[in-house]
């Protein structure tokens, strides 16, 4: 078992992400998981064996190593990668819930199950917030446990049972880019939502009972009897999604937009 | 033919024994189709927060536990004896066993479904039911399958609780001590022995205990949901739910 499991899970979530979300995923795979597996694990492989103390007192090396490195960097990175990848599963869970609902009610409820509108938008935003929180949390943990991002060459230790001792060590770090990507993605989807709200046009009640074949035909041949008076702009993607929303939900939706 | 299904399930167990976690994952995902939503969430939590963390991180933390267990003595054999006294079963092996035992009750469900499919095969094939759709059909959790499912959740809860308690009792809590004092023969007197990486081991023990508790909570919620649903159905209380579907979600 290796990181392949996590990669499979994340690739599944990929199709419900925005463009920036996919960039984030590529960064995580290429620069973090790959680097971790190929390099970091090898570099830290024999960390305690190469931790040399200037003493022959038994137990001193154990005590000093434990005091200086309460958690190993590689393990902290592994935990960070696992925790940061997990919020994406919330989105996959939500889409699965939508699919389940369609099966239960035995009719098509959503024009596009994966589009980021309504509840899925909230879930996506929440998952982004969690990801950023975990990243920041782990970076802070790193900073405070190791007093910065530099690995010292020499550490002085006076843990019992040691007399005064001196050690040797070597190291290297990257997750500020991922935090930046998450923040950019958050701003991007908020901007997209705002743009949708601002440029949306209201469609009268009788036009809402379309069947999908009618909609598809209209995209190709605008002069079909469906709605010849509408301009082609109305058949763009975001209005297509809007049409699937029921009457009573519109006001709530608008309220949410205004609130954002 | 039921024997083949039985052999297939024991094969799953053997895969897990040889620590072939991907094979176990394949078996469990197959059984997952018949679970409730909470059961599916439980499976994801199990694999991401427990199996993955165990394999990726915990095994390397405990890798050098005996080689770096140093005692303040030159007496040969003293270190081995003291290590054995304080660490009768390694945390890693205990967790592997726990995960194995906790995953096993799910196979009961798979076996039950396979038995039902085998029993209904002849009858359904006569009604021109295709073999593939027979394998893919999702049985509702009712009747004997409900009892099997509830029993499997109960077993999971018992195993989780049992192993957590065993860990707590064996190691006197979830903390790993830095120093242990030992005077077993052949150690000459009371000898100080130092454990390697005690803080990291404590952190991982606490993390695994938390994940285990989360799994227990999910199992209890699932059991409550099953019982509530069966009471609702048996008392004939069909609450009328208007057909208005909330499309916001």
Residue B41: per-residue pLDDT: 86
Residue B14: per-residue pLDDT: 42
Say what percent of chain A tops pLDDT 90.
Answer: 0
Model confidence at B243, in pLDDT bands (50, 70, 90)?
A: low
Using CB atoms, which residue from A69, A78, A109 is nearest to B245?
A: A109
Residue B168: per-residue pLDDT: 93
Residue B225: per-residue pLDDT: 92
Is there a contact between B196 and A62 if contact means CB atoms under 8 Å apart?
yes
- Interface-testing mutation among A2, A3, A58, with chain B (most B C-beta atoms within 10 A): A58
CA A34 – CA A12 distance, rounded (Å): 19
Contact residues, chain B, for A6 at CB < 8 Å: 48, 52
Contact B69, B60 (CB under 8 A): no
Using CB atoms, which residue from B47, B195, B200 is nearest to A71?
A: B200
Kindly report, residue by residue over B121-180, the tens digit of the pLDDT. Answer: 777 777 766 666 666 667 777 788 899 999 999 999 999 999 999 999 999 889 999 899
Residue B10: per-residue pLDDT: 43
Q: CB neighbours (10 Å) of residue A12?
A: 13
Contact residues, chain B, for A252 at CB < 8 Å: 248
Q: CB neighbours (10 Å) of residue B43?
A: 20
Answer with the residue of higher pLDDT: A136 or A33. A136
Asked whether the predicted pLDDT for residue A223 surpasses 60, the reply is no
* Closest alpha carbon within chain B to A119: B249
Contact residues, chain A, for B196 at CB < 8 Å: 48, 62, 65-66
* Closest alpha carbon within chain A to B26: A5
Residue A229: per-residue pLDDT: 42
Tokens linked to B112:
């039950």
pLDDT mean over B200-223: 94
CA B104 – CA B9 distance, rounded (Å): 9
Is there a contact between B48 and A1 if contact means CB atoms under 8 Å apart?
no
Is there a contact between A252 and B248 if contact means CB atoms under 8 Å apart?
yes
Full DSSP string of B181-238 = EE--TTSSS-EEEE-SSHHHHHHHHHHHHHHHHHHHHHHHHHHHHHHHHHHHHHTT--
pLDDT mean over A80-103: 84
Asked whether the predicted pLDDT for residue A13 surpasses 80, the reply is no
CA B92 – CA B204 distance, rounded (Å): 10
Average pLDDT, chain A: 68
Asked whether the predicted pLDDT for residue B224 surpasses 90, the reply is yes
CA A54 – CA B55 distance, rounded (Å): 34
Contact residues, chain B, for A244 at CB < 8 Å: 247
Kindly report, residue by residue over A37-83, the tens digit of the pLDDT. Answer: 777 777 776 667 777 777 778 888 888 888 888 888 888 888 888 88
Instruction: Note the pTM of the prediction, 2 decimals.
Output: 0.72
CB pairs under 8 A between A and B: 115
Model confidence at A259, in pLDDT bands (50, 70, 90)?
A: very low
CA B99 – CA B104 distance, rounded (Å): 9
Closest approach of chain B CAs to the CA of A113, in angstroms? Answer: 10
Is there a contact between B70 and A249 if contact means CB atoms under 8 Å apart?
no
Is there a contact between B192 and A71 if contact means CB atoms under 8 Å apart?
no
Answer with the residue of higher pLDDT: A177 or A92. A92
pLDDT mean over B109-131: 77
Answer with the residue of higher pLDDT: A51 or A245. A51
Closest approach of chain B CAs to the CA of A218, in angstroms? Answer: 24
The crossing angle, in degrees rounded to 10, of helices B144-170 and B91-126 is 170
Average pLDDT, chain B: 81
Q: CB neighbours (10 Å) of residue B84?
A: 12
Residue B128: per-residue pLDDT: 63
Dihedral sign of CA atoms B157, B163, B164, B166 in order: positive
Kindly report, residue by residue over B29-70, the tens digit of the pLDDT. Answer: 777 778 888 888 888 888 888 988 888 777 788 887 888 888
Is there a contact between B22 and A161 if contact means CB atoms under 8 Å apart?
no
Residue A260: per-residue pLDDT: 36
* Closest alpha carbon within chain B to A2: B56
Residue B163: per-residue pLDDT: 95
Question: Please, is B2 exposed, middle or buried when counting C-beta atoms within 10 Å of its C-beta (0-12, 13-18, 19+)?
Answer: exposed
Residue A8: per-residue pLDDT: 74
Tokens linked to B169:
């009792």
Is there a contact between A48 and B197 if contact means CB atoms under 8 Å apart?
yes
Q: DSSP 3-state assignment of B173?
A: coil
* Closest alpha carbon within chain B to A4: B22
Kindly report, residue by residue over B183-205, the tens digit of the pLDDT. Answer: 888 888 999 999 988 999 999 99
Asked whether the predicted pLDDT for residue A96 surpasses 90, the reply is no
Q: Which residues in chain A (117-136) have CB-CB distances under 8 A to chain B?
A: 118-120
Q: Which residues in chain B (39-58) have CB-CB distances under 8 A to chain A?
A: 41, 44, 47-49, 51-53, 55-57
B61 CB within 8 Å of a chain A CB: yes
Residue B238: per-residue pLDDT: 57
**Predicted ipTM?**
0.70
Asked whether the predicted pLDDT for residue B207 surpasses 90, the reply is yes
Q: At CB < 8 A and 24+ separation, what contacts does B18-24 make? A: B19/B96, B21/A1, B21/B51, B21/B55, B22/A1, B22/A5, B24/B100, B24/B103
Model confidence at B212, in pLDDT bands (50, 70, 90)?
A: very high
Contact residues, chain A, for B56 at CB < 8 Å: 2-3, 78, 82
CA distances from A254 to A119, A247, B17 (A): 14, 12, 56
Kindly report, residue by residue over A191-204, the tens digit of the pLDDT. Answer: 777 777 777 655 54
For the stretch B165-200, what's the b/e string if a residue is b when 16 or more beta carbons lie within 10 angstroms of its beta carbon? eebeeebeebebbbebebeeeebeeebbbbbbbbbb
Asked whether the predicted pLDDT for residue A249 surpasses 80, the reply is no
Q: Which residues in chain A (40-59) have CB-CB distances under 8 A to chain B?
A: 48-49, 58-59
Contact residues, chain A, for B68 at CB < 8 Å: 48, 62
């Amino acid at each position: 078992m290796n990181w392949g499991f996590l990669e499979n899970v994340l690739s599944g979530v990929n199709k419900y992400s925005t463009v920036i979300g996919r960039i984030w995923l590529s960064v995580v795979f290429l620069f973090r998981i790959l680097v971790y597996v190929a390099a970091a694990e090898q570099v830290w492989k024999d960390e305690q064996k190469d931790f040399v103390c200037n003493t022959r007192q038994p137990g001193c090396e154990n005590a000093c190593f434990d005091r200086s490195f309460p958690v190993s960097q590689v393990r902290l990175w592994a935990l960070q990668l696992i925790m940061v990848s997990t919020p994406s599963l919330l989105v996959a869970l939500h889409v699965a819930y939508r699919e389940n609902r369609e099966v239960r009610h035995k009719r098509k409820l959503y024009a596009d199950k994966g589009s980021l509108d309504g509840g899925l938008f909230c879930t996506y935003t929440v998952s982004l917030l969690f990801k950023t929180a975990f990243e920041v949390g782990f970076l802070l943990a790193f900073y405070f446990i190791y007093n910065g991002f530099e690995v010292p060459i020499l550490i002085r230790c006076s843990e019992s049972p040691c007399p005064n001792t001196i050690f040797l060590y070597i190291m290297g770090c990257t997750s500020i880019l991922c935090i930046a990507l998450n923040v950019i993605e958050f701003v991007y989807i908020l901007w997209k939502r705002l743009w949708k709200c601002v440029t949306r046009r209201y469609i009268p009640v009788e036009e809402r009972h379309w069947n999908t074949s009618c909609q598809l035909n209209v995209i190709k041949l605008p002069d079909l009897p469906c709605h010849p008076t509408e301009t082609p702009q109305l058949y763009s993607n975001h209005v297509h999604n809007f049409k699937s929303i029921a009457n009573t939900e519109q006001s709530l939706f608008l309220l949410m937009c205004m609130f954002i | 033919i039921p024997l083949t299904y039985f052999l297939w399930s024991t094969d799953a167990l053997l895969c897990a024994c040889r620590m072939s976690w991907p094979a176990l994952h394949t078996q469990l995902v197959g059984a997952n189709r018949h679970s409730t939503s909470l059961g599916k969430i439980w499976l994801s939590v199990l694999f991401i927060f427990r199996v993955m963390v165990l394999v990726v991180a915990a095994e390397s933390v405990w890798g050098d536990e005996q080689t770096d267990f140093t005692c303040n003595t030159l007496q040969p054999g003293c270190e081995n004896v003291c290590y054995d006294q304080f660490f009768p079963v390694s945390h890693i092996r205990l967790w592997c066993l726990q995960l194995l035992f906790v995953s096993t009750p799910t196979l009961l469900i798979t076996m039950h479904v396979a038995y039902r499919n085998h029993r209904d095969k002849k009858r359904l094939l006569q009604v021109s039911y295709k073999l593939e759709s027979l394998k893919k059909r999702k049985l509702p959790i009712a009747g004997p399958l409900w009892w099997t499912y509830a029993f499997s959740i109960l077993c999971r809860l018992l195993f989780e609780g049992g192993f957590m308690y065993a860990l707590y009792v064996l190691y006197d809590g979830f903390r790993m001590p830095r120093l242990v004092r030992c005077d077993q023969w052949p150690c000459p007197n009371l000898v100080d022995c130092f454990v390697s990486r005690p803080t990291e081991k404590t952190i991982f023990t606490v993390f695994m205990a938390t994940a285990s508790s989360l799994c227990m909570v999910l199992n209890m919620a699932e059991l409550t949901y099953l019982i509530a649903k069966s009471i609702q159905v048996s008392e004939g209380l069909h609450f009328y739910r208007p057909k208005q579907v909330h499309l916001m979600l």
